[in-house]
Amino acid sequence: MNVGDTLPPLEIAVTRTLIVAGAIASRDYQDVHHDAELAREKGSPDIFMNILTTNGLVGRYITDHLGPRTVLRKVAIRLGAPNRPGDTMTLTGTVTAVLGSTVEIRVVGANGIGHHVSGTVTAEVAA
């Protein structure tokens, strides 16, 4: 890998099931992640994905490309536009640094209303 290399995009269909399952799997029982009526009462048009699910999807994106023996050393992300049922999030990545077997990749996940997630992932690539 070289600085400037890009990873192929990954499109993820954001379904109600994905949002709820991700919240349950990460033990995030906040109602805005599983109850549409309560989410609307709190000002959101529908339920939305939690950061832990997003973090997992970013990790999957990197390991799908770099291989299953890749070790994620640091994942630093920031959320933006919410992922709601019916959205498609497209993850893209650009290599920003390479030092031996360690790479840093700038990751962006965008949906129809903007950037859902942005940040960097530092990974050690197995030889």
The Cα angle at residue 54 between residues 64 and 20, in degrees rounded to 5:
115
Task: Identify whether the C-beta of residue 3 lies closer than 8 Å to the C-beta of residue 97.
Answer: yes
pTM over 0.85: yes
Could you list the beta-strand ranges (E) of 1-127.
Answer: 6-13, 71-79, 88-99, 102-111, 114-124
| Arithmetic mean of pLDDT, 77-90 | 97
Closest CA to 35 of 19, 22, 55: 19
pLDDT in tens, 2-45: 999 999 999 999 999 999 999 999 998 889 899 899 999 999 99
DSSP assigned state of 12: E
